[in-house]
Chain A
Amino acid sequence: MNERSILLVEDNPQDELLILRALKKINLANRVDVARDGQQALDYLFCEGEFAGRSGGLPAVVLLDIGLPRLSGLEVLARVRADPRTRLLPVAILTSSDEDRDRLRSYESGANSFVRKPLEFTEFAETVARMGIYWLATNRPPMG
C-alpha cells in the first residue's frame, strides 16, 4: 500500500468517531485526516490557512458529507473540480441523505461515488471499511 491517506470531511463528531472506529478495525485509522467543515477541507487540500505547511500531497479519496457548516459538501466539490490541482481527485459522498435530488446533484457536480450512511452500526461499519479498502487499495488513482 502506498502512503496516500483518506480525507474525511465530517462535522458530526459522533459520526466521525464511528467512522474512525470502523476504519481502526481494519487498521486504517492512522491514515485518515479529518476536516470538520467545508472550508477546512479546502484549506487542507490546497495547503492553505491552518494547513499552510502541510506536506504529503493529495489524499487517495475525499469522503465528503453533504450537510456541512460554512461551505456545504456540494460547494466544496465544486471548488475541488474547478481547481486544476484537484480536478481529478476522487471524491466519494458519504451522507445521511437518500434523496434522488442530492444524489443527482452530487454526480452532476462530479462526485465519483455516492454512499448513504446506513443506520445500523454493523452495516455502517462494514460499509465504511469497504470504502476505505476500496479507495486506498483497490482503486487506481488518476495520477501517481
Chain B
Amino acid sequence: MSSSSRKRFILAVTAGYVVFGLAWIFLSDQLLAAFTDVGAMLWLSTWKGVLFVLASAALFHVALRALPAADAGNAPQTLEALAAGLVPGGMPRWASYAFAIAVSLLMLLIRDAVAVQFDERPLLILFMLPIVLAALFGGFGPGFTATLVCAVGVAYLVIPPQNSLHIAESHDVLQWVFLIGSGTAVSVLTELLRRAMAKVELNRRLLDTVISGTSDAVFIKDQEGRYLLANRATGEFVGVPAGQMIGRDDRMLFPEDSARALQEIDRTIMESGQIQTHEEELRTTDGRAFVFHVTKGPVHDNGGRVIGLFGISRDITARKQAEAQILHLNADLERRVAERTKDLELANIELQNLAYALTHNLNAPLRAINGFAQLLRESHGSTLDAEGRDCLDQILLASRSMGALMDGILALLRCVSGPLREQEIDLSALAAAHLATLAQAEPQRTVAWTVEPGLAVRGDVAMLKIALEHLIDNAWKFTRGRADARITVGHGSADGQPGLCIADNGAGFDMAHSERLFQPFQRLHRQEEFPGIGIGLATVQRIVRRHGGSIHATATPGQGARFCLALPGLAASPERLHE
C-alpha cells in the first residue's frame, strides 16, 4: 500500500467514526431525555450501547481488514484472501439497493413494534443503523437510499402527526434534518472509504501479480538477514517452499560458503545504504549451482533508518554457460585458425623455397647446355653443315628463353613474398628515365613519348620500378613497327579511382582474352610477333596488389593498349614531392 493512499484511508476511517459516534451521542441522548421511567431508560440505554457496539464493530471490521497483513511472507495467499472479501458487499448493485431498502423498512417495523414503550418518541437514532449498514455494503447510493427511505418513513409513520409527512414539533424537525444530514455524511464517507480500499486493493493485486508471477527471485530481509518476504521463484531457487523461508536467514537456507558470501554482500549494502547491482554465484544445499544477476538495496523505516534489505535476483546461469561456451568456441576457433594459418604459411614458405631451389638448380644445367652449344658452334661450327648450325642456334635460343623464364619466375616469387620497404617514389622520374634508356638503346626507333610530371606514391621502390618498367617495356615492344609510335605515361582514372596510366598506340589485344592477361605464362601474341615469356604482367599485378591497388587494361587490336594502375595514395600534383 502506498503511503499516500494509506493516509487517505486512515483519514476516511477516522472521520467516518467521528461522524458516526457524534451522531449517535446527540441522537441517543435526545432519546434518553424523552424518558421519565427509569426502567425504560435503562432498557433503552442497554440497547443503544449494543447497537453502537454492533455498528462500530462492523466499521472496524472493514477498516482493519484493509490494513496490510503483518506477516508479509504469506503475501500471495493473504492478498488473495483479501481480494476475495475486501470490499464489503461484493454483491450486485441492485441487491445492495434492495438491501438498503429492506433494512430501512425492517428498522421502521422494529421501531413500530417498540414504539409503545417509548411513549411515541421518534427514536430517530435507531435509523442510523440501516443507513450505516447500507452504506457499508453498497457505498453512497444504497446509503443515501436508506437515508431517504428512513427519512420519509419516519416523517410519515413515526413523527407526530402520524400517517402524514407533516412534522408538527420544531425539535422533531431538527432531529429529522439531523438524521438526513448524518445519513448523507455517513454515505459519502463510506463511499470514499470504499474507493480508497478498492484502489489499495488494485495496487496490491498488481504488485502481487508481478511478484508472484516473475521468474526472478524477489525477497525482503530484515536487518538480521531473516526473510520477511520471499516469492515463489525465491523458494524454487533455494529449494524450500517460499512460505517456509520466512523468519529464516541464509545460514539456514544455503551452504556455509554461499551464506557467508551473501551475508557479506547484504551487510555492505545495508551499511552503505546504496542500491547495488552485481552478480552472485551461489550453491544450494542440494548441490545446484547458480549465477544470479542481483539488484539489492536498503529498506528504510519512516525515520529513514535502514531496517532491512530488498533483493531481486535473476537466474543467468544458462546465459553464463552459453557465454562461457561461446568464449571457449571462439578460443578454439582462433586456435584452429592460427594452426591452419601456420600450416598454410609453412606450406607457402616450403613451396617458395622449392621454387627458388628448382630455379637455381636448373641454372647450372641450362648454363651447360648454352655454354657447350656455344663452344660447339665456335670451335666446330666449320665442320657442321647449315642444318647442324641451325640446330645449335635453336638450342641456344631455347636455353636463352628458358633462362628468361626462370628469371621471370624468380622476380615474381620475390614480389609475392619479399618485404615491402615503403618510401616516397617519384614515378614520373622513374618512367622518364626508363623511356630515355630505351630510346638511347634503340636510336633507330622514333617513339613520341611523354610523361606527366608529379606522379608520386608511397611504396617499395624496387617493386614499383619493376612494375612500371615492365609496362613501359611492353608499350615499347608492342609499338615496334609503327612509324608514329606514341607512348604516354600520366594520371588517369582506373576503375573509378585515380590511377597511373601507360598508353600506347601499338598492337593492342583482343579484350575477349583480357582475363588471361595477368596469369603467368599466358601470352596474347605469337612469339615471332612479339617475343616474351608471359610472366611480366602477372608480376606487375602481384606488385600492385601488394600495394593495395589494382590493375586495369583496355585495348583495341591494332590501335593500342592502356594499362592503368589504381594505387592508394597516388598523387598527381608535383607539390606532393616537396611536402
Contact = CB atoms under 8 A, between A and B. Distances in A.
Contacts of B363: 96, 117, 119
A121 B374 contact: yes
A124 interface: yes
Nearest to B367: A119
Contact of A21 (B356, B375, B410): B375
A98 B367 contact: no
A97 B363 CA distance: 9
Interface stretch (A12-20, A28-36, A107-115): A12-20
A12 B300 CA distance: 98
A9 to B, nearest CB: 15
B400 A120 contact: yes
B462 to A, nearest CB: 10
B474 interface: no
A122 interface: yes
Contact of B399 (A98, A118, A119): A119
A119 B400 CA distance: 8
A119 B366 contact: yes
Majority SS at the chain B contact face: helix
A119 B403 contact: yes
B372 interface: yes
A83 interface: no
Interface of B: 356, 360, 363-368, 370-375, 399-400, 403, 410, 418
Interface of A: 12, 14-15, 18, 21, 67, 96-100, 117-122, 124-125
A120 B365 contact: no
A124 B368 CA distance: 11
B410 A14 contact: no
Given A97-B360, A117-B363, A14 B370 contact: no
B400 to A, nearest CB: 7
Nearest to A102: B360
A14 B403 contact: no
A100 B400 CA distance: 23
Contact of A18 (B360, B367, B403, B418): B367
B410 A121 contact: no
Given A14-B367, A67-B360, A96-B360, 19 more contacts: A14-B368, A15-B367, A18-B367, A18-B371, A18-B372, A21-B375, A96-B364, A96-B367, A97-B360, A119-B366, A120-B370, A121-B367, A121-B370, A121-B371, A121-B372, A121-B375, A122-B374, A124-B371, A125-B371
A14 B356 contact: no
Contacts of B365: 14
Contacts of B375: 18, 21, 121
B388 to A, nearest CB: 18
Contacts, number: 51
Nearest to B410: A98
Contacts of A96: 360, 363-364, 367
27 contacts: A14-B365, A14-B368, A15-B364, A15-B367, A18-B368, A21-B371, A21-B375, A96-B360, A96-B367, A97-B360, A98-B410, A99-B356, A117-B367, A118-B367, A119-B366, A119-B367, A119-B370, A119-B399, A119-B400, A120-B370, A120-B400, A120-B403, A121-B373, A121-B374, A124-B367, A124-B371, A125-B371
B25 to A, nearest CB: 118
Contacts of A117: 363, 367
Nearest 10 pairs of A and B residues by beta carbon: A14-B368, A121-B371, A96-B363, A119-B403, A121-B374, A18-B371, A12-B364, A121-B370, A96-B360, A119-B367
A12 B363 CA distance: 11
A67 B399 CA distance: 22
Nearest to A117: B367
A63 to B, nearest CB: 15
A18 B364 CA distance: 11
Contacts of A98: 410
A100 B419 CA distance: 12
Contacts of B373: 121
A14 B364 contact: yes
Given A98-B410, A119-B363, A15 B403 contact: no
A119 B410 CA distance: 14
A124 B367 CA distance: 9
Given A97-B360, A119-B399, A14 B372 contact: yes
